């Protein structure tokens, strides 16, 4: 049985090392390698190499793939003195990383040379208190919370699905929420649209939701768009920069518009829909899974379209489906778990049953396929014109 020293010497013989001066040169290069800090949280909090990614040694194998998906990108791994990083470099080699070096002498040697250091972004005491239940989860932690605080989510609709989804996203500390909704609060909304209240009757839903969300969490900035999403405004609204779109609109014209915009802009959509006792959730992640048009290339002709009149819905159902959508959004933002890409989750409230269906990409899809035929937005505005409900109902939110 080798002693620790012998084992360390053996590992060091199997890996490549650089000294602090060489590491500095790599750090200054036009295309610097990834600097990976494998020290513990407390050490990292006191400062590290600028731009470094922090994964404590104990979590290295489980987390490195999401931090460094490209195994060909060179990595400089470091710890305090170069021992833990030597073992880490060996593990990374075994995981298929092709070009890994360990910083001999570690961060101590780097600092001794007077090379630049940086305090990591961190949370102030108020945020530590507010998000303490997130910080206790290793998969979230300070890093995940910082990601959420820097994230931007666009909600289409502040109705049944948008209400619970936006409340949970705001509570979780998603830094910027955009709300697109051109409707006002109506008494018939209050059976399920919990972002609004009786005293807000007649107010813009976007404004009402903004008040509710900002009262819940002042860390969150809410941007409102009191307009119906259409081919004219969609690019302007998306240009404000969003990481994920949460589609709670549940009507054909908006669904196709959001889908095409998502593919054109490369922004994932978390889709939800509800009817009576049944709900559905899926994630359309452009080019990684199917898009809505892979499944339904065109909307049905108006005579075959489902009624545009408001459908009934059990009040709590949007709460369940909207919360599932918020869950998918949080996972996408933090890069954790398995999002519902290529899977449609179905919920039956009467039977209390979940089931899921696999969805596949269509290589001939008119928008995300190999030879797309749809390259501009289409407004399906006449969609409901045949019915007496007219345009208003086309935008009705569940």
Positions that interact with Zn ion (CB under 5 A): 291, 293-294, 365, 368
Residue positions counted in the chain: 398
Give dist(CA 179, CA 208) in Å, integer.
11
Which residues on neighbouring strands pair with residue 103, listed in sequence order?
18
Nearer to Zn ion, 206 or 283 (CB): 283
Find where tokens 């976007």 sit. Answer: 206
Q: Which two tokens stand for residue 256?
A: 């196709």
Contact 119, 111 (CB under 8 A): no
Q: Which two tokens stand for residue 388?
A: 């007496």
What letter does residue 384 receive in the DSSP assignment? G
Contact 272, 161 (CB under 8 A): yes
Give dist(CA 249, CA 257) in Å, integer.
11
Please give, one letter per residue, the 3-state secondary structure of 300-358.
Answer: CCHHHCCCCCCCCECCCHHHHHHHHHHHHHHHHHHCCCCCCECEEEEEECCCCEEEEEE
Please give, one letter per residue, the 3-state secondary structure of 233-289.
Answer: CHHHHHCCCCCEEEECCCCHHHHHHHHHHHHHHCCCEEEEEEEECEEEEEEECCCCC
Q: Are strands 100-103 and 221-225 parallel, antiparallel or unpaired?
A: unpaired
CB of 343 to Zn ion, least distance (A): 15
Nearer to Zn ion, 34 or 269 (CB): 269
CB of 287 to Zn ion, least distance (A): 9
Q: How many CB atoms lie within 10 A of CB 113?
A: 12
CB of 284 to Zn ion, least distance (A): 8
Nearer to Zn ion, 218 or 300 (CB): 300
Nearer to Zn ion, 84 or 293 (CB): 293
Contact 166, 213 (CB under 8 A): yes
* SS3 state at 71: coil
Nearer to Zn ion, 220 or 368 (CB): 368
Nearer to Zn ion, 129 or 357 (CB): 357
Give dist(CA 342, CA 335) in Å, integer.
17
CB of 291 to Zn ion, least distance (A): 3
Nearer to Zn ion, 164 or 286 (CB): 286
Contact 290, 362 (CB under 8 A): yes
CB of 333 to Zn ion, least distance (A): 23
CB of 367 to Zn ion, least distance (A): 5
CB of 178 to Zn ion, least distance (A): 24
Nearer to Zn ion, 217 or 254 (CB): 254
End-to-end CA distance of the chain: give it in Å, rounded.
67
CB of 324 to Zn ion, least distance (A): 22
Residue nearest Zn ion by beta-carbon distance: 365
CB of 361 to Zn ion, least distance (A): 6
* SS3 state at 176: strand
CB of 294 to Zn ion, least distance (A): 3
Nearer to Zn ion, 148 or 365 (CB): 365
Nearer to Zn ion, 229 or 291 (CB): 291
């Amino acid at each position: 049985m080798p002693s620790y020293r012998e084992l360390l010497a053996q590992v060091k013989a199997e890996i490549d090392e650089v000294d602090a001066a060489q590491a500095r040169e790599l750090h200054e290069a036009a295309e610097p390698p990834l600097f990976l800090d494998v020290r513990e949280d407390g050490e990292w909090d006191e400062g590290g190499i600028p731009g470094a990614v922090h994964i404590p040694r104990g979590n290295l194998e489980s987390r490195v793939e999401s931090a460094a998906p490209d195994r060909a990108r060179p990595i400089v791994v470091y710890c305090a003195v170069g021992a833990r990083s030597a073992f880490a470099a060996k593990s990374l080699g075994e995981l298929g990383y092709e070009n890994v070096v360990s910083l001999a002498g570690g961060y101590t040697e780097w600092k001794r040379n007077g090379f630049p250091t940086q305090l990591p972004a961190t949370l102030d005491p108020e945020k530590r208190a507010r998000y303490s239940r997130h910080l206790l989860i290793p998969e979230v932690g300070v890093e995940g919370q910082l990601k959420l605080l820097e994230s931007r989510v666009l909600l289409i609709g502040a109705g049944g699905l948008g209400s619970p989804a936006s409340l949970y996203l705001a509570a979780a500390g998603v830094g910027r929420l955009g709300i697109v909704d051109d409707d006002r609060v109506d008494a018939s909304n209050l059976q399920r649209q919990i972002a609004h209240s009786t005293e807000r009757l007649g107010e813009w839903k976007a404004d009402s939701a903004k008040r509710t969300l900002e009262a819940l969490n002042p860390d969150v900035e809410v941007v409102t768009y009191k307009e119906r999403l259409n081919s004219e405004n969609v690019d302007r609204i998306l240009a404000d920069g969003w990481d994920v779109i949460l589609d709670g609109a549940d009507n054909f014209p908006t669904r196709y518009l959001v889908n095409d915009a998502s593919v054109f802009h490369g922004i994932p959509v978390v889709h939800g829909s509800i009817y009576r006792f049944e709900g559905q959730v899926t994630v359309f992640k452009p080019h990684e899974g199917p898009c809505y048009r892979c499944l339904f290339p065109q909307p049905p002709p108006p005579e075959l379209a489902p009624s545009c009149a408001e459908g009934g819905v059990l009040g709590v159902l949007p709460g369940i489906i909207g919360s599932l959508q918020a869950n998918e959004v949080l996972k996408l933002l933090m890069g954790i778990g398995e999002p519902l890409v290529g899977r449609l989750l179905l919920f039956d409230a009467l039977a209390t049953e979940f089931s899921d269906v696999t969805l596949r990409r269509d290589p001939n899809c008119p928008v995300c396929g190999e030879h797309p035929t749809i390259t501009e937005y289409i407004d399906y505005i006449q969609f409901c014109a045949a019915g007496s409900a007219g345009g208003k109902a086309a935008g009705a939110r569940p």
